[in-house]
Structure 1
Amino acid sequence: MLKRKIDNYIQNYYKTTRNALLITGARQIGKTYSIRKFGKSFKSFVEINFIDNPEAIDVFKGAKNSTDILFRLSAMTTVPLIKGETLIFFDEVQKYPEIVTAIKFLVDEGSYRYILSGSLLGVELKDLRSEPVGYMGIKDMYPLDFEEFISCIGINDNVITALRDAWKDRTPVDEFIHSKIMELFRLYLIVGGMPAAVSKYIESNNLQEVMAIQQDIIRLYRRDITQYDPDDKLYIEEIFNLIPPELNAKNKRFILKKLNENAKFERYQNSFLWLKNAGVALPVYNVEEPKMPLLLARSRNLFKLFQNDVGLLAAQYAEGIQLRIIKGDKDINFGSIYENAVAQELVAHALEPYYYNNKKRGELDFIIELDGKVLPIEVKSGKDYDTHRALSNIMDCDEYELPEAVVFNNDNLRINGKIIYAPIYMVMFLEKNNVAPTHYKVDLTMLQ
């Protein structure tokens, strides 16, 4: 049984509100598994899957109100509907998005609790006529991040706490622990965070079987492309196939001319957005200046495109790379795989990653907003991680006044001036904090 952070999120969500919850995310990331697990805490759990049970769509069509919907639901299931003690789960709602609109009335009726999920929701629900604001929360879900991965593999929570403390205190990790976590990080680069792949590894320790599952998921993604966007499927599939080689290129930036010598961003924009909205790819846009807010400095048509899961990326490279990664082979370029792991981790932690590129100062791998400040990030897979011209230029620039930067690499933690040299696995501790005030009241005594 895989331990996921979202399990606690779902439990806490339903303790504090009567609203429904919609879990969004790419295919095969474990949404249904976590919801079923939560469903066991109710006396009664009803699951309606609009793909496995397509006749359910016809049953619900034409329902006039919540009473009508619940009457039809009771006729579809043999599971008892117990007021106040039943969780109703609508799965694959992209096949029947009208049920999302209807959730408002079901929540208002108040007899049962509701949870929804589906794939390609960013694609299918973008034109939803009436999103039930105030009646439904939305939570994005991703593949297992590195902390979840090592926890599932068997690393004790006390070890993870010690690693977190080392990051907070800016102190080196015990060398034995450091070497073992680095070994697990290299394993994560191969297995990735897709639950089926992680479960297969835990069950068998067989990387060939893991890779077979990953190839099945990649084929599934390609089928989705042809099924859900018939008009632009050739563009989308071509872009999807170019992600691995483009990341392996020198500057890793996605070059439109690889698609077509005369390619214009406007022509392919919808295809890139499809991959992003489907959760299949992670675009990281260029910013022209490392200043808050980064969104205002974003360049719309300059970006890197990462895979949603680093294990899927590794599975698309040449056969035999898995064993070379595990051994830490110095003769192969880890750069694209390391960067993909970092991008994936940042996105999973609700941090919007950008990259910086300037002809005069150079290029930074990533740049994010953290705790109200701009944090530059460099990712180094080789030995020469002290050499970082662009990062040095940015940190020495008085105009930007950046307090610190991080260089993720293979060695233990150390600090040199404003630069933190941290082991690559410590990217798992970059997390978004809520810096907004929770309570604020204006003093009006002098005006009353």
Structure 2
Amino acid sequence: MFTRKTMTSLKRWKQYKTTQALLVDGARQVGKTTLIEQFAHDNYDHVVEINLYENDEAREALSSATNSKDLFLRISAFAGTTMIPGKTLIFLDEVQECPQIITMIKFLMQRNDYDYILSGSMLGVEPKNIRSQPVGYLMTTTMYPMDFEEFAWANGIGTDVIDTVREAFNTCTPVDEFIHRRLLQLFHQYLICGGMPDAVHTFIETNDIQRTRAVQEGIVDLYRQDISKYAGDRARIVRRIFDLIPAELNDQNKRFVIRDVEGQSRINRYDNDFMWLSDANVALPTYNVSEPRYPLAMSMTSTKFKLFMADTGLLTYACGMDVVRDILIGRSDINYGSIYENVVAQELKAHNNPLYYYKSRTIGELDFLVEHDNVIVPIEVKSGKDYKRHSALNNALRTDNWHINEAIVFYDGNVEQEGKLLYLPIYMVGCLQGKQRAL
């Protein structure tokens, strides 16, 4: 089993909870079930696990429960193991198949005799947004695909190496050249493999790109099936948008063009369809702001956005084998801008950074913007040799009323600083969480 950061959230819930159940949501195939099963094995004497997607009989029984007392009776009937108060975890998996369980959890928790973990996908697409219910009795955590640090752990990179990288980030000093080359090579593999645990496992165990891509193909097919199942009468448009993401990112503009969906240009006709993909945790919208000043949320423009894939490996899969081959041989004459930007979006999101960008005719485009201590830090992502060509960053730094003190360029090289411009290895994106050094 892979080491996952979400395990910390599960341990924290068990340590500090009072009357709260835990809800773990996230996209399909990100490893929720495996992680919860491992946590349950390590922390409880008895575990009741009911999968409401695979067990038709249990799903029907729990769905027809009339009240919390009736629901608990039916859970106990399908337990299949001894239930001892204070020593038993009840794990209800794929709860999107029986969402009323979430609304009843308050009354089950009031019994104060068993711990409950719920897990599911597609929870954000429910009309009533069941993740927000019931207040005070449900803690939630979202699980994402494996970030690069988790991928590095899975490939045998120790915490001492990661600590060395963080220290280089905090002190703005170059990473040891041997470590830098190894992590850069691994990062390029991460671009191909992505962070879906089944794909990562196949990649590590077989070293076979074709088998890894077969796993990715299965995940993409599953996502398309989920759209058909859960998106209702919007399924055709949602699926069309999902299929368009790679092409839109490869476009020079990169911003999603609404007319490409069905020849229409009114975004309000499709805003719910775009949000469906975001709420299902399979796509990452990155919103334009009218001005890169704190707080960014105040100047967000909801009708202008880029739409990234939640997992970069799935994007690379969609781009075809030629791109995979070029990444593997390290062709420096190829611009992988869309893939590099996607992985930065994925890393920023996994480390709790809201996704924003800025673009204007006078300044140019700032690929990403992050907030730190009420200060805005613009980011440009470079995949080629021209990493020192960044007119938009230069223009932003020269705009006095924005008060931007530092700008970051993520690229394939080592740590380097020129005045207010900081060049960082692309694998350092995850260090932006909990940034320790002053900007």
Give the TM interval when normalised to the shorter protein: over 0.9
- Residues in 2 aligned to 1:338 and 1:128: alpha-carbon distance in whole angstroms: 34
Of 300, 303, 306, which residue of structure 1 is paired with 2:305? 303
SS of structure 1 residue aligned to 2:348: helix
Q: Deviations over 1:77-130 (max 9, x none)?
A: 221111101010111111111100111111111100000111111112634498
Q: Say if 2:295 and 2:374, in contact at 8 Å, map to a contact too.
A: no
Q: Are 1:264 and 2:272 matched, yes or no?
A: no
TM-score of the two chains, using structure 1 as the length reference: 0.94
Deviation for aligned residue 1:194: 0.3
Pair 1:294–1:407, CA change in 2 (3 A): same
Matched with 2:341 is 339
Deviation for aligned residue 1:374: 1.1
SS of structure 1 residue aligned to 2:270: helix
- Residues in 1 aligned to 2:132 and 2:376: alpha-carbon distance in whole angstroms: 37
- Residues in 1 aligned to 2:234 and 2:180: alpha-carbon distance in whole angstroms: 46
Aligned partner letter, 1:168? N
Give the alignment of 1:32-181 within 5 angstroms.
32-40=33-41, 41-61=43-63, 63=65, 65-124=67-126, 126-128=128-130, 131-181=133-183
Detail structure 1 runs of 4+ shifted over 6 Å in the superposition.
none
Give the alignment of 1:363-374 within 5 angstroms.
363-374=365-376
Q: Say if 1:47 and 1:91, in contact at 8 Å, map to a contact too.
A: yes
Aligned length in residues: 434
Pair 1:127–1:121, CA change in 2 (3 A): closer
Deviation for aligned residue 1:280: 1.0
Q: Say if 1:244 and 1:316, in contact at 8 Å, map to a contact too.
A: yes
The unaligned stretches of length 5 or more in structure 2 are none
SS of structure 1 residue aligned to 2:410: strand
Matched with 2:24 is 23
SS of structure 1 residue aligned to 2:232: coil
Of 277, 280, 291, which residue of structure 2 is paired with 1:278? 280
- Residues in 2 aligned to 1:130 and 1:21: alpha-carbon distance in whole angstroms: 12
Q: Deviations over 1:315-345 (max 9, x none)?
A: 0012232121022112322100000000000
Of 249, 259, 280, which residue of structure 1 is paired with 2:251? 249
Deviation for aligned residue 1:418: 1.1
Pair 1:274–1:22, CA change in 2 (3 A): same
Q: Say if 1:351 and 1:432, in contact at 8 Å, map to a contact too.
A: no
Matched with 2:431 is 429
- Residues in 2 aligned to 1:274 and 1:299: alpha-carbon distance in whole angstroms: 18
Matched with 2:12 is 12
Structure 1 stretch 284-293 or stretch 250-259: which is displaced more? 250-259
Matched with 1:440 is none
Q: Deviations over 1:130-187 (max 9, x none)?
A: 8111111110110000000001110011111001100011100111111111000100
Q: Deviations over 1:276-335 (max 9, x none)?
A: 111111010100101111011111111101001000000001223212102211232210
Q: Deviations over 1:401-422 (max 9, x none)?
A: 1121110011110111111100
- Residues in 1 aligned to 2:62 and 2:415: alpha-carbon distance in whole angstroms: 57
Q: Say if 1:370 and 1:432, in contact at 8 Å, map to a contact too.
A: no
Q: Are 1:379 and 2:384 matched, yes or no?
A: no
SS of structure 1 residue aligned to 2:383: coil
Pair 1:258–1:129, CA change in 2 (3 A): closer
Pair 1:255–1:61, CA change in 2 (3 A): closer
Aligned partner letter, 1:207? I
Deviation for aligned residue 1:65: 4.6
Q: Deviations over 1:7-39 (max 9, x none)?
A: 122112211113111011111000111000111
Q: Are 1:396 and 2:401 matched, yes or no?
A: no
Matched with 2:2 is 2
- Residues in 2 aligned to 1:117 and 1:224: alpha-carbon distance in whole angstroms: 16
Pair 1:251–1:86, CA change in 2 (3 A): same
- Residues in 1 aligned to 2:309 and 2:63: alpha-carbon distance in whole angstroms: 37
The unaligned stretches of length 5 or more in structure 1 are 435-448
Pair 1:149–1:351, CA change in 2 (3 A): same
Pair 1:7–1:128, CA change in 2 (3 A): closer
- Residues in 2 aligned to 1:297 and 1:132: alpha-carbon distance in whole angstroms: 32
SS of structure 2 residue aligned to 1:109: coil
Pair 1:95–1:268, CA change in 2 (3 A): same
Deviation for aligned residue 1:53: 1.4
Q: Say if 1:367 and 1:376, in contact at 8 Å, map to a contact too.
A: yes
Matched with 1:405 is 407
Deviation for aligned residue 1:270: 1.3
Pair 1:293–1:129, CA change in 2 (3 A): closer
- Residues in 1 aligned to 2:63 and 2:423: alpha-carbon distance in whole angstroms: 58
- Residues in 2 aligned to 1:127 and 1:77: alpha-carbon distance in whole angstroms: 28
Q: Deviations over 1:199-254 (max 9, x none)?
A: 11111111111011001101111111111123111211111111101111112111
Deviation for aligned residue 1:55: 2.2
Q: Say if 1:66 and 1:109, in contact at 8 Å, map to a contact too.
A: no
Q: Say if 2:124 and 2:130, in contact at 8 Å, map to a contact too.
A: no
Among the aligned pairs, what percent are the same residue? Answer: 47
- Residues in 1 aligned to 2:264 and 2:144: alpha-carbon distance in whole angstroms: 35
Give the alignment of 1:171-320 within 5 angstroms.
171-320=173-322
